[in-house]
């Protein structure tokens, strides 16, 4: 353990920590060099996604001190950038989310920044909405989205309701670097802030306005679909319950069963260690209930209610989980169909997806004459495209944005993925097809028959601690410096290096990539295989995405197995 790391630990032991759990943990790890080093070897990195880390004591942890330090840096940035700045704050059900949000509010208030704060947990998209609705200079959500219970995070938004840009993140990080965690942070007691009015609770008017904005996205008239749809819903012990059920009921869906064990907020997520609707384990209780009730659909939202997953009946008498890509292409096709039927398709429609999202969406967009815009991974880049359209007075051209990780948005009322909107649109789509005697699996089969079978998978590899972080960096460096020339026997014809903004063809010719810089590599082969490798920006994981177009699922799955083995061997995973 380096002397600087040990000095940080000793400094924390001798100072005010504002949370009794921190002192207890520091005492517990005394003499344990490995745990001390992991907690103090670096500061949590602040980026466009804000902060995210394991809850606990240390500079490399999420706690009241690291939250306060980030809030002071953000305060300095806001006061230097805006006249009379204000912020909105929301939080989810995670451990210490309420404490962290109150800590942030106390720091903002002490810096003379007006705070608008939801009095109870709310979905992440409702924060994006509040920033715009209340004309704030920015905002934060205390959440770690779909991560395990040991994590929490701090997402930062700009005045447009979108997650902050790289430029803003760098300016905030620079401000944070100038702050001493024990001597430079201003604080106003939270109760005093409420009493003086510099901290103000966000009222029901804003919540109702958010629900109404979501409802305005509906493309289903009362007689156009079977709204007797039987729905099983689970918020996975998170923030979605009130907004999702309220919105569904407002739009005519009253046959809703909520999974009892996952109904109430609980940051320990006792029934699903990974509260992520992408993972089957998180949906097992929902599947139990949907089978028991014979319902038409299972809808699940993650803890901060910006992602939504579904399960639908199949011909074998059970239920099939749909991937984010499958749900996304179903929504794209249905939205295009409905807009044309209702005469609501804009003259030059725009759809936005990320570079790791299925290319099937591109094929469907081309069929309907929809402009496809492709952006880097992260919904903030989709939000950015909506902002660019709005700047030109053309936000009505936007009809859908989605990413393979179960994030969808059909309107310009927010700048982030919205599971409240996603749940309603999925219910509308299901009700529409149900009235016409079709299931979502029937429609998906029709789309595969028309556009070809697309097989998309994601594999994540965890690398905890300092050693893991360095190993992950070495892997991406190898991929960039010694790039493979083929995958599964198919020659690489395009290699996109988004860190250096260069696309290289098979003959070595280079062209510039006009997207923000990101540590991502994408390979495209002659046979249409694509492989994307990127380190997660919010957690210690390396993510690898495969996309294969084939005649059928079985053939594609075999190719995927070969691909996975090949790249794991190459990277030494």
Q: Please give the positions annotated as active site.
A: 145
Residues 63/70, Cβ–Cβ less than 8 Å: no
Please tell me the distance from the alpha carbon of residue 248 to that of residue 494, in angstroms, as a whole number: 44
Three-state SS sequence of 516-529: CCCCCEEEEECCCC
Q: What count of Cα atoms within 13 Å lies in the side-chain half-sphere of residue 63?
A: 22
Please tell me the distance from the alpha carbon of residue 396 to that of residue 117, in angstroms, as a whole number: 30
From 335, 269, 274, 313, select the one nearest 92 (Cα to Cα): 269
Beta bridge partners of 257: 232
Strands 86-91 vs 453-462: parallel, antiparallel or unpaired: unpaired
If 0-12 CB within 10 Å is exposed, 13-18 middle and 19+ buried, where does residue 205 land? exposed
Largest Cα separation within the chain, whole Å, is 71
DSSP assignments along 191-239, one per residue:
HHHHHHTSEEE--HHHHHHHHHHHHTT----GGGS-TT--EEEE-TTSS
Strands 350-354 vs 371-375: parallel, antiparallel or unpaired: parallel
Total residue length of the chain: 573
In the block, which residue shows the tokens 């799955």? 557
Please tell me the distance from the alpha carbon of residue 556 to that of residue 554, in angstroms, as a whole number: 5
Judged by DSSP in three states, 247 sits in: helix
Strands 256-258 vs 231-234: parallel, antiparallel or unpaired: parallel
Judged by DSSP in three states, 570 sits in: helix
Residues 426/310, Cβ–Cβ less than 8 Å: yes
Judged by DSSP in three states, 443 sits in: helix
Please tell me the distance from the alpha carbon of residue 553 to that of residue 347, in angstroms, as a whole number: 36
Residues 215/250, Cβ–Cβ less than 8 Å: yes
Please tell me the distance from the alpha carbon of residue 567 to that of residue 557, in angstroms, as a whole number: 15
Which two structure tokens, joined as six digits, stand for 203?
């009222």
In the block, which residue shows the tokens 């009700």? 431
From 405, 399, 417, 412, select the one nearest 333 (Cα to Cα): 399
Q: To 5 degrees, how large is the angle CA 413–CA 419–CA 421?
A: 45
Q: In 328-463, at which residue ranges do the beta strands (DSSP E only) sit?
A: 350-354, 371-375, 398-403, 407-409, 453-462
Q: What Rg value do the Cα atoms of the chain yield, rounded?
A: 24
Q: In 38-121, at which residue ranges do the beta strands (DSSP E only) sit?
A: 51-54, 86-91, 114-117
In the block, which residue shows the tokens 């401000």? 175
From 108, 120, 248, 125, select the one nearest 186 (Cα to Cα): 108
């Amino acid at each position: 353990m380096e002397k600087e790391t040990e000095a940080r630990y000793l400094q924390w032991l001798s100072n005010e920590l504002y949370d009794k759990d921190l002192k207890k943990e520091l005492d517990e790890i005394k003499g344990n060099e490995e745990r001390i080093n992991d907690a103090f070897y670096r500061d949590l990195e602040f980026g466009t996604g804000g902060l995210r880390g394991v809850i606990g004591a240390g500079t490399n942890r999420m706690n009241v001190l690291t939250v306060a330090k980030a809030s002071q840096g953000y305060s300095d940035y806001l006061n230097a950038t805006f006249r009379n700045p204000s912020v909105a704050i929301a939080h989810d059900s995670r451990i210490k989310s309420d404490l962290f949000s109150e800590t942030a509010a106390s720091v903002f208030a002490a810096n003379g920044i007006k705070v608008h704060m939801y009095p109870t947990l709310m979905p992440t998209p409702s924060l994006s909405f509040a920033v715009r609705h209340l004309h704030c200079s920015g905002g934060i959500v205390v959440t770690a989205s779909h991560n395990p219970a040991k994590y929490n995070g701090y997402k930062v938004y700009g005045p447009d309701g979108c997650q902050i840009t790289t430029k803003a993140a760098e300016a905030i990080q620079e401000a944070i670097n100038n702050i001493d965690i024990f001597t430079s942070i201003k604080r106003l007691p939270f109760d005093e802030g409420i009493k003086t009015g510099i901290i103000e609770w966000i009222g029901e008017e804003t919540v109702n306005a958010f629900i109404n904005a979501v409802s305005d996205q509906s493309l289903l008239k009362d007689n156009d679909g079977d709204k007797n749809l039987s729905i099983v819903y689970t918020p996975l012990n998170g923030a979605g319950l009130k907004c999702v059920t309220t919105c569904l009921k407002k739009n005519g869906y009253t046959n809703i069963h909520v999974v009892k064990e996952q109904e109430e907020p609980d940051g320990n997520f006792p029934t699903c260690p990974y509260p992520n609707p992408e993972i089957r384990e998180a949906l097992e209780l929902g599947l139990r209930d949907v089978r028991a009730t014979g319902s038409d659909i299972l809808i699940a939202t993650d803890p901060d209610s910006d992602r939504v997953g579904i399960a639908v009946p199949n011909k074998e008498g059970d239920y099939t989980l749909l991937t984010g890509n499958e749900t996304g292409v179903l929504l794209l096709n249905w939205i295009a169909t409905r807009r044309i039927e209702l005469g609501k398709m804009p003259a030059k429609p725009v759809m936005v997806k990320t570079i790791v999202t299925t290319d099937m969406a591109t094929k469907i967009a081309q069929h309907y004459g929809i402009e496809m815009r492709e952006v880097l991974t992260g919904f903030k880049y989709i939000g950015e495209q909506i902002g660019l359209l709005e700047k030109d007075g053309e936000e009505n051209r936007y009809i859908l944005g989605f990413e393979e990780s179960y994030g969808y948005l059909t309107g310009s009322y927010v700048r982030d993925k919205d599971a409240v909107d996603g749940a309603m649109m999925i219910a509308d789509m299901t009700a529409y097809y149900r009235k016409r005697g079709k299931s979502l699996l029937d429609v998906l089969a029709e789309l595969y028959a028309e556009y070809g079978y697309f097989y998309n998978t994601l594999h994540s590899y965890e690398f905890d601690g300092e050693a893991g972080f360095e190993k992950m960096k070495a892997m991406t460096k190898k991929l960039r410096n010694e790039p493979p020339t083929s995958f599964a026997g198919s020659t690489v014809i395009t290699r996109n290096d988004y860190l250096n903004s260069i696309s290289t063809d098979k003959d070595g010719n280079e062209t510039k990539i006009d997207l923000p810089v990101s540590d991502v590599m994408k390979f495209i082969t002659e046979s249409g295989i694509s492989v994307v490798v990127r380190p997660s920006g919010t957690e210690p994981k390396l993510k690898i995405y495969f996309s294969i177009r084939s005649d059928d699922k079985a053939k594609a799955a075999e190719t995927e197995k070969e691909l996975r083995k090949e790249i794991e061997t190459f990277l030494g995973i």
